[in-house]
Chains A and B, each alone.
Chain A
Amino acid sequence: MFDLSGKAALVTGASGGIGGAIARGLHTQGAAVTLSGTRVEALDALKAALGERTHVVAARMDDAADIDRLAKEAEAAMGKLDILVNNAGITRDNISMRMKDEEWDKVLQVNLSGTFRLTRAAMRGMMRRRFGRVITITSIVGVTGNPGQANYAAAKAGLIGMSKSLAQELASRGITVNCVAPGFIATPMTDVLSEDQKKVILARVPADRLGMPEEIAAGVVYLASSEAAYVTGQTLHINGGMAMI
């Protein structure tokens, strides 16, 4: 099950903890993978670790022309694009009273608008081939909210609404559009938290541990597979029971 041999995947934010694990997961199941992000060294290192069937296309998600170029180059490198994993995202946390317009705009631009642009660019080929998997990494805070993250939560909630709309537009063409919503996952982003901070977070997690990036990747692999053809417009929550929605 979940064999992805012959499929071509693009993973954005692949230089990060979760994005890297997703790329590995798809690659392990047999897919060709294009790694995208802004940190070229990390992307090249991952490419070297994965070996064949791997490509790197660096791109900025706040630049419309760069996003179109990314879609084109990924398709050119692999010959097609079957699976798009929208994982790239940034945070600019601040309580709303202090949040600057730039902090709000930047997060919406990269996390929401950039994701829409890339997805739109990828759709054409998927429609033509009557197959596509769009999997967008949202967040538990897109559903529950989180103090200090009004911008991030709004963008992540927006991705869920966007995905449900695209799912309805594209279902008749064999394209599914879903989200994966991680809770607290052990990555370089959460490594910087103090033990006390971790304790506070874990008090809210019935599983009593942080999630692993591989556990997010497993959800993405499932949604990318042909076995998940009848799953669309959904959000798969992977959060150790932190929120049950």
Chain B
Amino acid sequence: MSDIAERVKKIVVEHLGVEAAQVKDEAKFIDDLGADSLDTVELVMAFEEEFGIEIPDDAAEKIQTVGDAIGFIKSNAKS
């Protein structure tokens, strides 16, 4: 399961164009990684695609940090 964290971080690095070292579990997408609100929507779409899951809007709103994303995916991912 640990590779889920790696895959999430890879997507964040690619999508937001940030350094891998910045993508810590506690990093907030908007405040710390420079994402805008549309970026967060696109990240959710990318996570859905990568992990074959659906992230409902109310869950997506709660995903504010890299750790939030990893946590949600770990408890919902099939692959």
Contacts and interface: CB of A to CB of B under 8 A. Distances in A.
Contacts of B45: 124, 127-128
A172 B35 CA distance: 13
Interface string A151-186: 000000000000000000110110000000000000
Contacts of B42: 127-128
B34 to A, nearest CB: 13
Interface in A104-147: 124, 127-128
Contacts of A127: 38, 41-42, 45
Contacts of A173: 38
Interface string B25-68: 00000000000001001100100000000000000000000000
A161 to B, nearest CB: 20
A153 to B, nearest CB: 32
A221 to B, nearest CB: 28
Nearest to A123: B41
A240 B42 CA distance: 42
Interface of B: 38, 41-42, 45
9 contacts: A124-B45, A127-B41, A127-B42, A128-B42, A128-B45, A169-B38, A170-B38, A172-B38, A173-B38
